[in-house]
Structures are given as structure tokens and as C-alpha cells.
Amino acid sequence: MFNRTTEYDAIVVGSGISGGWAAKELTEKGLKVLVLERGEELQHGIDYLGEHAPDWKLPFNGKPNRKEEAEEYSIQSQNYAFSEANKQFFNNDKKNPYIRNDEKPFNWIRADVVGGRSLLWGRQTYRWSEQDFTANSVDGTEIPWPVSYGDIAPWYSYVEKFVGISGQAEGLKQLPDSEFLPPMEMQALEKTIKKRLAEKAPDVTMTIGRVAVLTENHNGRGACHYCGPCHRGCSTGSYFSSHSSTLPAARATGNLTLRANSVVEKLIYDEATGKVSEVHVIDAKTGERHQFSAKIFFLCASTIASAQILLNSKSEQFPDGLANSSGTLGKYLMDHMLSMGGVGVFLDDMDSYYYGNRPNGIYIPRFRNVELKDADADFIRGYGYQGTAGRGDWTTDFNRRGFGAGLKEKLRKPSTHWFYLGGFLECLPKASNRVTVDPQNLDRFGIPQVSVEFDWSENEYKMMADMKAQANRILKAAGAVYIVSDDVKGLDGSADGPIGGMGIHEMGTARMGDDPTTSVLNKHNQAHDVANLFITDGSFMTSSSCVNPSLTYMAFTARACDYAVKQLAAGKI
Amino acid sequence: MNRRGFLECAALLVGGVTASQASFSLTDEQKVYLATASDYVASEVDFFTSDQRELITHFSEIIIPETQTPGAKQAGTSRFIELMVADWLNDQEREIFMSGLESIPSIAFNSYSKRVGDLSEIEMLGILETLEEDASDDPWYAFANTTGAFGEDHKSPFICQLKELTIWGFFTSEVGAKQVLRYSPMPMSFKGDIPLKEDDSAWAGRNS
């Protein structure tokens, strides 16, 4: 039994960062848009159940519910942002499983509510550089990007002005400046370290994190109140999410229909027109089946989910999945390798403290293989560090010896001054890192589950070794009196290394390129094979850079919407 | 205060919020929200015997005593410990905790020839110090131990469990956060460099 519903101009699958932008851009250009979201309805503000909840109100005073995590959220709970205060945003791994290969594991961190991971993201916001877009062609890895920095730069500006990004202009070629709101302040120790690095490690720039959190009122959203845990949701809309920003803008046009609990089973390809004609949806609550038709379709379901939908959309024309004449669909999955650089203990600025919870840290942009390959580097590409200064307190010093008033006195005060550096490493694309679907394993809706295989390349492990060595050099130059670091782990598949997916920056699976035989999308995020199909989530990424990718998804989404609507108006779609 | 009232206060505090964002849907007032829920330590629990409950209350107060500021007893820490042992510890950890707790009477008898109820505070402290001395090579005491007594790989002894639960329960309690640490849930600004005076406490809240 199918319920057929009125035709829309455009259908957007997914309401996260990319889907929210597609909804905003397409509705503002006058299109009637249906957004399909598999997750539950979630109202801005009202449904941020854990927002501002103090520890003593949380179950176990905020300690993780280990039993429930193991049973219901075995993958999601490994993510830093998961807690008793926001677990309702996350996918229930028991209810909605995927096939995780123990030999080549990938942790798929996903939301299951309207707004998707835009509610949960780390909000770090960086532009790609020209060097990132030319990387594949320069070092001959896989296929070249069909887009240059110059092509996307105006679209970065366009989305940045709406999003509101606080940060400090640095004039670096490898990390172009955004349209900035005032930067957040560094802590005293961070300022001290920045000064020392300028003298003792002048090849390294340290800047305040660039973050999609408002430092002043912006576009009708309130400035940050510095309560701390953004990922519980923010009723003042101080950080950018679909809920706070793009969906309200889309709603204001009167052109938006948003349907939650709408699991997309597949897209239907019409051989007569050579286009996608409709989408098949299963209601997650009622089990009812629906079909919706439209002129254009935007897949913004996330890198793995969009690949799953296309791989499950088989037809006579496309037996291996829709828009997959190249055979590359699902392949070249990437993530950023995240690994500790080191923690330095400092005796500086002990009489300085902070006020407020800064939802941001510091950033050290890539300084290896910039422009030309460094002579001493045994790897290509590069990495950046995210870090922060911090003070020890009872949460870190709980294991002190002793009892009584002396112990209580020590535990109530700030203690050690430390500075942390975490590496974010670029990952090279390779065909064996891939997403497939398994018709033998159906989910609770009867849809073939997705299977993910992922491992790192030698280049990433070599880069990890360099990243840790350089972090040691930086922490020494910064004046650390003691450095905690760890070994390079995980080479040759040993279990202790970084697991793919934990960067939560999955990319690839429907990469763009000029050659239709080696790529799924053209330079406009349009499927080579199907003119009215666009994919603008992380799927389109041809390489990974080392910077956080969400801003790039936003810019490409806005650009693709502009192109699609012009093509539609010109009668070319 | 219900969630809607809370949000209106927050919006007033924050200011600059537009009408569209202040006009939250009013249909969900009945919902119970975490920020307005009752305290975790107000939950029902009946796991320890009354003697055990009394002993844990004494022990927690010895670990974090009342000074010029309230101690563990006033913060309801022993209730937190009982709840966590009953609901949160896994079987293996609970076994370690309970056999540790059950061994106290014989330690009291062997060390002081007394029943637990007759121990002085100094003698109770003596027992805890001996337990800590015996456990002193346990990895729980290692510098930069971030996993604590309840990690996957290692099962810490009773004394480490007791101290960790006491410290956790105390500093995450309303009393500990507001009267011993400094609590500022709505700071409104961030300043990276303010003076830290000799007697200043750390900020409360884990911000997770």
C-alpha cells in the first residue's frame, strides 16, 4: 500500500548541516521543498532536555549509564559528546545497527533526530585552501578535484556571513581567513605559549579556534552565554545548527514541508526521462509507506547514509546502484585520523584563572609540507592541532592520597596548569575503504543494512609519528616542565590505534570529478548519470584536507542549490 | 520551575533574543526536564544495612569533612554512594565494594578490639589509612589516571572505590558545587585571564 502525495519542486533527504542549507537555499529561491528526516521530531529549545541541567540533576550525577551504553549505544557512547544529558539526540545502535567489520572497523557516529549532527558537531569552522584542492593532482593520488579554491571562496563568504564564525584573521595561505565575528579570548597560559612559540618555533602559528559560536548577536540569534556544553542544545541559538539557523529561515519562506520519522528506502529512476522521479519512504513510527515526487532531489543524508540509499536504489539501468556507472559509488571513504599529540604541564600563570566556559580551544594550522614537501617528511599532506589550556581540579586529582580537611582543601582548588594538543590528520582516499549494502542483513524496515570497511594507510601512520614528535617539540618550545605523550599505535591493524569514524568527519563515497568514468558527481555536485540528482553532504569529497569539513559542505551545498535552480529555470533539468 | 519558565528566564538573562526564538511552543509544558527534575540523590535506595549505611556516612565525612564549609554528610554523599553501589557498579565491582565494607568489623576487632559502632573517629581514620597504605601500589594512584576506579581493564580495591565515589558524589552535589566550589551556570562572558587568589575554589560543573 502506497500513499502518493503532491509533487514538490525539490526533495531534500536529511536535515543536518547540508540538508538544512539545501532547505534554506531552495525555499528562498521560491521552490516548494520537502525535507525528509529519518530521525524523530525535535523542537528548538523545548526538546533540549539536558540544557543547563546541573550534575546533581543527572542520573548518577552525570556518570555514564554504562549498562545502557553497552546495550543500546555501543558505538555512539564512544563519542566524546555523548552523555546522559543528550543521549536522546543519538542513534540507538541496537535499534538501528550497521555491519561493522571487526577486521576493518569503522565507528559510525550518527544522530537520529531532526537537525541531525548539526546539533552535536564540534563547531570548529575552517576554510580549505588552494593547496587542499590541488593536493590530489600535485602528488598524483587518485583523481583531481574539479573545483578550485577560487571557485568556492565566494561561497565560503556567503555561508560564513549567515552562520556567524568567531575567529582571528591570520593571513595564512594554508588556512584562508573567514568572514569573522570577534575572536574568543585566549587563556593566560595560551597567550604565554603563543608568545614563546613566536620566538622558539616561528614556523608554527597558534590562533584561537575558529568556531560557529556567536561572540555577538547575529542574524536574530543571541550571543553565547558561555554555559559550556553546546552539544546539549542551545535555546538561544548561539551556535549554528539547522534548528537555530537554516530551518527557521526555510520555514519563514512558507515553502518548507519537513517530515520527520521518514526513512528513505530508495530513489526511483525513470528510464524514459533519465531522471529520478520519486522517493520511497517508510514512516519509522507507523510503518506506512509513502512516495513523493519532485523535479530535483538533494541527498544530504550523510556520507554513509547517502551511499546506502543510492546502493539500494537499483534499476535495470543501474544494477549496481543509482548513478553508479563509474563503479566508484561507496568507495574512497575517508575520515580524519585523530590522535593525541601530547599534554604539557606548566608552572606559568599559576595565579591566573578564567571565567565562563569557552566552547572553543586554540588551533595550530598545518605547518608541514606547506607549499613544497618538507625535506625531512616521510609522508605527504599534513595535519593541524586543536588544543586548549586547562587547570587540574577534583575531576583530574580525585586519586590523591590522604583524607580529611587537607584533602578537601586541595581538591576544591585549581591545581596543575596543563596544555593539550590533539592532532587532526589528513587521510588519503583509497578504493578499499568502502560502504556496501548487504541484502542478507535487513534492518527493522526491511532495508538492506550498510556495511563499512575501513583502515588507515601507511601515510597516515607515518604522519602520526611526525605529529607526535612535532607536538613534543612544540610543547618544549612552549615551556612545558613535564610532557605526557603516547606511542604510535595501531600500525598493522593492532587494536589500540585510532579507529576510523572517531573523527566524525566521514567523507567520500560519491566523489566529484571531471571524468564520469571515475567519479559519481560533476563539479556542481550533480550526478554525472542523473541530471536531477545532487549530493552535497560529505559524500562528494574527493580528498579530505586536515581541517574540519562542515563549512565546506555548507559552501558546496549553497553553490549546488544556486546551480540547480538556474538549470531548472533554463529547462536543462 | 518548568522548562518553559526556565527558558524564559534564560532568554531574559541572555537578552538580544528575537521574538521568534522566545515564542517557544507551549504545548509541551507537561514534560519533565532534566534541569527541573529532582536530584539524583533523592532517588529511593535500600541496599546497605543500617549499620553499613552509618559506617559509610562516617567514612565519607572523614574523607571530606565539614570545615568552614559543609562536608560529605551535609551533601548527602552516603546516599549517592549507596545508589551507585546498588545501581551503577557492575557485579564484579559491587563484589569488591561489599566485601571491603563487610571486612571492616573484623579489621576493627583485630586492630582495636572494638565493634564498629564503638570506634572513635581517629580509629576509623586509622582503618582508612591502613587500607590506603595496603593499596598504595594500585594503578588508581598513578599520575594522570583518567579512568578512575571503574575502568574496563582494572578493578581497583575498596578504598579507591570509596574515595572516588565520595569525592565524585560530594563535588557534583548541589552543596559541594555551590558552597565549596564556585558555581556559575550562566556566566554570560568568557574571560581568559582573571586573578586567582590564594583561597579561590575551582569552578563547579564538568560541562560534558
Cα-based angle A128, A133, A137 (whole degrees, multiple of 5): 155
CA B118 to chain A, closest CA, distance in angstroms equals 20
Residue with cell 555491519: A99
CA B52 to chain A, closest CA, distance in angstroms equals 20
Across the interface, whether the CB atoms of B63 and A185 are under 8 A apart is answered no
pLDDT at A209: 98
pLDDT-derived band at B73 (thresholds 50, 70, 90) equals very high
Neighbours of A169 (CB within 10 A): 13
Residue A207 CA to residue A202 CA, distance in Å, equals 13
Can you read off the three cell numbers belonging to residue A544?
A: 579530505
Q: Cα A101 to chain center, whole Å?
A: 22
Reduced 3-state DSSP string for A448-498? EEEEEECCCCHHHHHHHHHHHHHHHHHHHHHCCCEEECCCCCCHHHCCCCC
pLDDT at B19: 32
Which residues from A are below 8 Å from B4, CB to CB? 46
Q: Does B207 touch chain A (CB under 8 A)?
A: yes
pLDDT-derived band at B143 (thresholds 50, 70, 90) equals confident
Paired residues of A391 in beta bridges: A417
Q: What is the mean pLDDT of residues B168-195?
A: 96
Which residues from A are below 8 Å from B190, CB to CB? 184-185, 224, 226, 354-358
Which tens digits make up the pLDDT trace of A366-393?
A: 999 998 999 999 999 999 999 999 999 9
Can you read off the three cell numbers belonging to residue B76?
A: 548527602
Q: What is the pTM of this model?
A: 0.94
pLDDT at B9: 41
Across the interface, whether the CB atoms of B196 and A356 are under 8 A apart is answered no
Mean pLDDT of chain A: 96
Across the interface, whether the CB atoms of A236 and B180 are under 8 A apart is answered no
Which tens digits make up the pLDDT trace of A11-42?
A: 999 999 999 999 999 999 999 999 999 999 99
Task: Residue count of chain A, please give it.
Answer: 573
Which residues from A are below 8 Å from B188, CB to CB? 225-226, 356
Cα nearest neighbour of A343 on chain B = B144
Q: Contact, A76 vs A90, CB < 8 A?
A: yes
A202 by Cβ neighbours in 10 Å (0-12 / 13-18 / 19+) ranks as exposed
Q: Does B189 touch chain A (CB under 8 A)?
A: yes
Half-sphere exposure of A397 (CA within 13 A, CB side): 21
Across the interface, whether the CB atoms of A223 and B16 are under 8 A apart is answered yes
User: Which residues have a Cβ under 8 Å from the Cβ of A131 and sit 6 or more positions away?
Assistant: A173, A174, A370, A371
Of B13, B33, B192, the CB nearest to A49: B33
Q: Which long-range contacts (CB under 8 A, 24 or more apart) does A284-287 make?
A: A284/A38, A284/A40, A284/A445, A285/A261, A287/A445
Residue among A219, A238, A355 with most chain B CBs within 10 A, to mutate: A355
Across the interface, whether the CB atoms of B146 and A185 are under 8 A apart is answered no
> What is the percent of chain A with per-residue pLDDT over 70, rounded to a whole number?
98
Residue B28 predicted with pLDDT over 60: no
Which tens digits make up the pLDDT trace of A535-565?
A: 999 999 999 999 999 999 999 999 999 999 9
Which residues from A are below 8 Å from B164, CB to CB? 398-399
Which tens digits make up the pLDDT trace of A66-112?
A: 999 999 999 999 999 999 899 999 999 999 999 999 999 999 999 99
Which residues from B are below 8 Å from A353, CB to CB? 194-196, 200
Of B37, B41, B185, the CB nearest to A227: B185
Portion 73-112 of B in contact with A at CB < 8 A:
80, 83-84, 87-88, 90
Parse chain B into domains and list their residue ranges: 3-37, 42-180
Which tens digits make up the pLDDT trace of A504-541?
A: 999 999 999 999 999 999 999 999 999 999 999 999 99
Of A62, A229, A399, the CB nearest to B172: A62
Residue A231 CA to residue A116 CA, distance in Å, equals 12
Across the interface, whether the CB atoms of B206 and A356 are under 8 A apart is answered no
Of A51, A66, A186, the CB nearest to B192: A186
Q: What is the mean pLDDT of residues A329-336?
A: 98
Residue among A55, A216, A235, A251 with most chain B CBs within 10 A, to mutate: A55
Q: What sign does the CA torsion over A333, A334, A338, A341 have? A: positive
pLDDT at B2: 43
Residue B33 predicted with pLDDT over 80: no
Cα nearest neighbour of A388 on chain B = B192
pLDDT at A389: 97
Q: Contact, A478 vs A193, CB < 8 A?
A: yes
CA A345 to chain B, closest CA, distance in angstroms equals 11
Q: What sign does the CA torsion over A64, A70, A71, A75 have? A: positive
Task: List, as one string, the DSSP characters of A256-289.
Answer: EEEESSEEEEEEEEETTTTEEEEEEEEETTT--E
Portion 201-230 of A in contact with B at CB < 8 A:
217, 220-229
